Amino acid sequence: MSVKVRIEPSGHEFDTAPGETLLEAAVREGFHLPYSCRNGACGTCKGRILSGTVTHQPYEAKALSEAERAAGLSLFCRALPEGPVVIEAREIGVAKDIVIKVLPCRVARMEKLAPDVMRLFLKLPQNERLQYLAGQYIDILLKDGRRRGFSIANSPAADEFLELHIRHVPGGLFSGHVFNTMQERALLRFEGPLGTFFLRKESDKPVILMAAGTGFAPIKAIVEQSLIEGSKRPLSLYWGARTRADLYLHDLALGWAAEHAHIRYTPVLSRPGSEDAWEGRTGYVQEAVAADWPDLSGFEVYGSGPPRMIEAAKGVLASRGLPADAFFYDAFEYAR
């Protein structure tokens, strides 16, 4: 049986699924209540039950004292509602409200998605979770003090692991290590979440998502989060790459479009090889967007890729009427 939850003072409402904690349901629905461990250990998710009854899954006494519980406080990551509840909680409105942490992590799994793209699944220590917005990135902290930024490729609502897509840059210090010497179970350290690239929810304008290469990673997180939330906001995804092999999760994107009427997917190759037998779109991804949408005045566009693509896109999209404040982007050089 699903249960209705209202958050005060915002008045936001959502339903929990059977067996779901208040926090799990809030994250799934895209409401940003503060959290850290999601495991009853840290107390970050503590808030007040204003009406209704919850039971708690086991938690650590230091996270919620008996006196606090008697006073109506609860750990939302452990709280199962027994009926409709009203809770009091501070919702995180913007990225700057999220705590930026430095954390160790373990490389739980490595998967080669293309000859030069590796997917890493990072596991955080027990009792640690990273709160982030879909689209944000982390900096891997190298031993010599340098850092390498990578977008998180999965939704925060499915965050048992943090997923990164690493492009191999010839001669690159970190990406070379990932491709040549890194083994599963390797330890890393990172800082995050960082960045302001995330879907603006205060608008319901149709969205164009424009990715180049591994710029697909934050776009994947945004699409997955919007699917988990059950949003029907129209999403038109354009993924630009050199060759067919560079569309390293092409089938995933095809599946989104096949299963969801509000999602369209247009792959665009800039240098298809003869072996690709490519019959789809060719050229640059921003040109494909401009060709398909002569009037972008009512849209929001989210672009992720190298700076030269983002710069080119600004001019092309503006010429189609896209307001400057409706273009959100994550411009990155491939981290070496």
Q: Are 269 and 281 in contact (CB under 8 A)?
A: yes
**Nearest distance from C-beta of residue 75 to ligand FES, angstroms:** 5
Contact call for residues 216 and 165 (beta carbons, < 8 A): yes
Asked if 5 touches ligand FES (CB under 6 A), the answer is no
Stretch that binds ligand FES, among 6-14, 35-43, 118-126, 229-237 (CB under 6 A): 35-43
Binding track over 222-261 against ligand FES, x by CB under 6 A: ----------------------------------------
For 267-317, the three-class secondary structure string (H helix, E strand, C coil) is: EEECCCCHHHCCCCEECCHHHHHHHHCCCCCCCEEEEEECHHHHHHHHHHH
**Which is nearer to ligand FES, 162 or 288 (by Cβ)?**
162
User: Judged by CB under 6 A, does residue 44 bind ligand FES?
Assistant: yes
Which of 7, 14, 40, 182 is close enough to bind ligand FES by CB under 6 A?
A: 40
16: which residues sit within 8 A by CB, 6+ positions away? 2, 3, 5, 22, 24, 25, 80, 81
Q: Is it true that the peptide bond before 156 is cis, omega within 30 degrees of 0?
A: no
Q: Give CA–CA dist 137/196, Å, rounded.
A: 9
Say how far apart CA 34 and CA 24 lie, in whole Å: 12
Question: Which residue number, 43 or 267, has a Cβ lying nearer to ligand FES?
Answer: 43
Q: Please identify, using beta-carbon distances, which residue of 37 and 85 lies nearer to ligand FES.
A: 37
Q: Contact with ligand FES (CB under 6 A): which of 3, 5, 16, 35?
A: 35
Confirm or reject binding of residue 49 to ligand FES (CB under 6 A).
no
Q: Which residue's structure tokens are 């340098």?
A: 146
| Pairing between β-strand 101-114 and β-strand 187-194 as defined by DSSP bridges | antiparallel
43 binds ligand FES (CB under 6 A): yes
Counting contacts by CB under 6 A, is residue 131 touching ligand FES? no
User: In this complex, which beta carbon is closest to ligand FES, that of residue 162 or of residue 313?
Assistant: 162
Which is closer to ligand FES, CB of 33 or CB of 247? 33
State which of residues 32, 38, 148, 168 lies at the interface with ligand FES (CB under 6 A): 38
Instruction: Report the C-alpha gap between 151 and 213 in whole angstroms.
Output: 12
Residues in the interface with ligand FES (CB under 6 A) total 13
Member of 3, 25, 49, 63 binding ligand FES (CB under 6 A) = 63
Please give the Cα distance from 162 to 123 (Å, whole number): 7
Provide the token pair at 215: 């710029």
Q: How far apart are CA 16 and CA 29, in angstroms?
A: 9
Rounded least distance, CB 23 to ligand FES, Å:
7
Q: Is 37 in the site for ligand FES (CB under 6 A)?
A: yes
| Shorter beta-carbon distance to ligand FES: residue 40 or 240 | 40
Q: Binding string, 9-28, against ligand FES, x = CB under 6 A?
A: --------------------
Region 65-84 residues binding ligand FES, contact defined as CB under 6 A: 75, 77
Contact 264, 258 (CB under 8 A): no
How far apart (Å, rounded) are the C-alpha atoms in residues 9 and 1? 26
How big is the chain, counted in residues?
Answer: 336
The span of 40-48, 97-105, 262-270, 278-286 binding ligand FES (CB under 6 A) equals 40-48
Shortest Cβ distance from residue 194 to ligand FES (Å)?
A: 21
List of residues contacting ligand FES (CB under 6 A)? 35-38, 40-45, 63, 75, 77
